Chain A
Amino acid sequence: MSKSTQHLAIYGKGGIGKSTTTSNLAAALADQGLKVIQIGCDPKSDSTTTLRGGKYLNTVLDSTRDGGKVRLEDVSVVGFGGVLCIEAGGPVPGVGCAGRGINAAIELLRDLRLFEEFRPDVVLYDVLGDVVCGGFAVPIREGLTDRVYVVTSSDFMAIYAANNLFKAVNKYAPSGGAKLGGVIANSVAQPWARSLIDDFAKTTGTRAVEYVPRSTVVAQSELYGQTVIEANPRSPQADVYRRLATTVYEDRESVIPKPLGPNELREWARRWGSLILDNEQGVVQAQAGI
């Protein structure tokens, strides 16, 4: 593995926009002339869809079905901007063990000498939802990735999931696991959303690395089966993703987060609930920040 290669894991609550963010990040990094691999670590196998422009991609675990020899070209396809797209795959819903699947797929990719052969500048791991079991923590553990980024909105359940992910990072980082690069605030729409996410990041000892506004450009690009970088390269939204790409590639600061305990998180959320209510009712307090 090249020493200069950066391995970055993107986590976040299901449906929060991880794959959209990761794919646009990959496209923006590639747009800057970097060699990028995106590995979808989700049995749904839809992480790289907008990068592939509809090209078929056999998943890593599907390729092992017949027990024959697997080659890199069987489980990867070159997408927009030269991004090498890979999907780990997994069992159909309701059977098997997807967590073990992530583990096995990454092991196989290492055996295939993916990183030595492709020599990427950046590898992005787009990982399913919460760290529901040890298998989904594989990209964090054992020094596989350099940094973890957590995508969150200002919804409490997304913050709750982010806090859980911080617990996983906190657990593995001291023994060589990845540290936290920061939070990517997604679907920022309300005026107070940015302050809420900033406050959560500050309270847990981290930072927000970018604020991605809610935009119809994203939905429109996905309906075309493309990233924003490809479909709307001159849009302000594309610039946001480019800025995010620059930050995560150049700013390599990372920390071990300090996740909140259940009661602390509940109190923090309640305080924000009151602040938002006051804001809507026009109550002005000093240093409210919203």
Chain B
Amino acid sequence: MEITSSNVRQWSRLGTRGLFGQAVLAIAPDHPDLIVMSADLGGSSGLERFRASFPDQFLNTGIAEQNMIGVAAGVAKEGYNVFVTSFSPFLSLRASEQIRMNLGYMEMNVKAIALGSGVSMGLLGNSHYGLEDVAVMRAIPNLTVVSPADCAEIVQAVKAAAAFEGPMYIRLTSEGINPPVYTEDYDFQIGKAVKVRDGGDLAIVACGSMVHHSLKAAELLAEQGIEAQVINMHTLKPLDEECLSDVLDTVSTLVTVEEHSIIGGLGSAVAEFLAPRRDQTRLLIIGLPDKFVKAGRYGYVLEQEGLVGTAISDKILGFLQS
């Protein structure tokens, strides 16, 4: 799956989950040891074609996420490359202790892919939202946590995950309604943040769907004469501290933006990085509030919670003036 502007346009139409399924299908021939698992959400995870094309490499465990993680660990222990999939809270919260024991403590080579994280489940409501997943997954030792920015980066992340030895949690946000951040091939490495816009006044550090919205915000700020650089922190753990250090050589105001609770996510990770430093960096954390939000269509929830370009730029302006 080559990253070209026409492919990217096509992928955006598939939606996040459809694209994820396509990406897994595309890597399968290069990974004969790949086993993809689902807890009865194969169709909803875009895996129909994979299941039809590689029936021997697809395992449905039934609606039992805790067991699925343990089974995945056993399969991985015998040398398979295992992807487990479900919706964010069912993996990261319902099965969090299984992830802790099997992926964290025993470091089994399992990639847990959380479909529809953040608020992208829209009208399905808070039961299906991934509000706290990064907070929990990030705190588990040995786990790598990744949050791709757009369609192209989902393709990159799936490829990189299949080649990566070790446990990983990947959260997919957005339902593909965002215009792409990337329209041509670029260097994607787990743990290496990417600067997607330059600017000398402040830096916005974003992940997942919020990279796009942060770019929008940066455009609006530029209209006010404020130049914001935008960093795509696609790997939340390990955090790319080298990149952040470089950023702080040029600016002293950081803003984090994430489709996740303001508790425990990207903002917290950046705050943990900043706390022991002896500089005067100011940090604004933008994310979902510490509450169960009123549900609606994806775009509606983002608007309501101020996670769109205009609201983000307004918050940043207010912060700069405060």
State yes or no: do A and B come from one complex.
Answer: no
Interface set of B (CB-CB < 8 Å, partner A): none
